[in-house]
Structure 1
Amino acid sequence: MTEDILTLDETLLETGKNAKSAAKVIRKLSAQQKNEALLEMIQSLEDHTDKILEANSMDIENGRENGLDEALIERLTLSDKRLTGMQSGMKQMADLTDPTAKSDGSFVNDEGLKISKKSVPLGVIGIIYESRPNVTADASGLCLKAGNAVILRGGKEAINSNTAIVEALQQGLSNSALPKESIQLITDPSRELASQFMKFNECVDCLIPRGGAGLIQAVLKQATVPVIETGTGNCHLYIHESADIEMAKSILINAKTHRVSVCNALESLLIDKRIAQDVLPELADALKDAGVKIHGDPFTCQVIEEAEEAVEADYADEYLSYDIAVKVVDGYDEAISHIDHYSTGHSDAIAANDYQVIQDFLNEVDAAAVYVNASTRFTDGEMFGFGGEIGISTQKLHARGPMGLEALTSYKYIVEGSGQIRS
């Protein structure tokens, strides 16, 4: 260990050493052994349901006392249904092919060397996240299935929930071939420790932040450990003049209101000027019935009496609330220009029936997920068949979109010879 490492918080240093040791064990295990561990973790979550929900109730009570808004309370809240969903996600992970068993084939070069490319775990993955305790289980399951150890650093608002979940998961691991230190939780909420964690290159191979723009930017600016950026979601729906309006309305309400506090919820609505006068009142009524506040451009405010005039920030913000920014655009080109300027590259959608417009939209919109006539709420690892997700990556290097098992691996080249030397 270097001199710098010795100045680290002792608990963090011990956590890192344990994670490194666990990662060496995990990478040697078979797919069956990892799957058996996942099944033990699922059973332990079920056995500890009452304890986890009790801990979650404490967090919710503390959150309300500390003035957390309802959107964050919603993200924080666990229920029997959500716990069952966590277990179901882990079961899906166990049923998936082990990504480290994958090989991209092999070839023999002119020197007679057999060269193949094999998937391997990243090693120790650090997850820094806010509010949502379901991330604790999802991230742990995915990391272990891909052969990695994981160190979790959740927000202080969910400390009781996260602690109860990790204790349950570790209890499950104690009945498996995996060390319980394969999953560890940092319980110290201090910023100083978080900063040390982000610079813990000696024991952490990759950092993945999950949360709001402030958290993600803080990690990107402070970390020396390589970061996979999971972006905020200023998601758009563009209603083209060729759209089926009833279908577009259904997509709009689902994408905006199904769960407002998540990154794949709709935040901005664009609508063609040719149909806006006739269609906006119907869409606005549906939004109002769902409790959504409209922030609109001058045209929208002229048509919709209850709309509040939008400012620049409204088109850039990720609301995570019952608010939506609405803009009437003069055709396809203006819609694309607006999305290019304001989109965070997460999920953008078009409602249309014009084939060429649809193809142009799919080709031109630069987002991790681009939708035609469907809700942005489907940008989700479970919906994509990944058995949950580690996050939604909005970057372009290594991983993009819902990050499943393969995003938690790298690769190495295997070179087999028979005594060849290079001349």
Structure 2
Amino acid sequence: MSVALLWVVFPNSQLSRYIGFIDSVRDGNRLIDSSRFVYRARRFMFNSRPNKYKKQKWNSYSFDIDFRHPCLRGINLPEITMVASTAGEMAVTSVEKVYSVVLKQAALVNRQLRSTAERDVKPGIVLPGNLNLLSEAYDRCGEVCAEYAKTFYLGTLLMTPERRKAIWAIYVWCRRTDELVDGPNASHITPTALDRWESRLEDLFQGRPFDMLDAALADTVAKFPVDIQPFRDMIEGMRMDLKKSRYKTFDELYLYCYYVAGTVGLMSVPVMGIAPESQATTESVYNAALALGIANQLTNILRDVGEDARRGRVYLPQDELAQAGISDEDIFAGKVTDKWRNFMKNQIKRARMFFDEAEKGVTELSEASRWPVWASLLLYRQILDEIEANDYNNFTKRAYVSKVNKIAALPISYARSLIRSSRKALAEV
């Protein structure tokens, strides 16, 4: 499993020896449009607002869901059934669960935009030791980003100093979290260790960082309207990796993709900022960021099928595999057949639809933040092209973007990052 931070995937590495946290874990003006789900009810009647249901006692009935969530528009999903219990409670789909986090984060940002006085007052950051270490902590975060995400790091240099440092701090926290279950010491990580890591996160958000790298993120969340929930959710994704190696439906896989990658978009948009001239709702920008995280993680999964299979893992919807006539044993055998090619074509199509949705939001970001996001988006889309070029052999061939293509993507992504400002300039002429 790889985490896509700020829409860039982290390669597995020996980072834990560099930032030294394993032992410590062992020891101790925009409107929100909430009308995004449309339901086709078989047996129940709902209010006109989809998120407010009439008060009534239900028996165990089922009903179809026709998703109109921006991240899923145009994507063919298998039918998902929700069941209402006799107590009147209704099971919540993964899309709904994730969407509630999007709304919460968008609302937090909107409160800040309306009045800075409404922002929560967080305690001052107290570093263990010399307060001057905060600057050093940010510098260290920048070094890690430069070493492990070179293309993205180059893009961050276009940001304002405050935003740049904040993005680095988020990068490092996400990478450290990913290393817990994917790093060289992953075999020693237990659910208890993840609980301790989450406890450290809670302290961090209260202005009580454990170490200097935590202090950089603590300072960041004190300055920007970043909600803690996406961070908690990423840790939950790590828990899933410890206990789950199969996903029955795309609904299950979607939730996993949100946990380990979609969360990053929700963490980073408050820092990257939305363009002042943007007419898009805050919610729609967050949806696009979420879509990009989902797209990147789906791309990771499709690229790493063979690698995951060798670890006994299959990050593909089991029901869709069955519909295609493919078993886990076929995947472990690693044979490229016509059935596999057809299956992969559909999976790639879905990932590209998420990328399409994501592109709508990149142009709404602040001008200084667009370049690194465009760069990572374009590069990730190319991985899907490479899988096709390899004749869908993602068992023994690893799809990757060549250094030449990476370099070529930089001026293209930079040009795209200027599109909104160019339109604005033309409108003012």
Normalising by structure 2, report the TM-score. 0.25
Q: Give 1 or 2: higher strand fraction.
A: 1
Q: Give 1 or 2: higher helix fraction.
A: 2
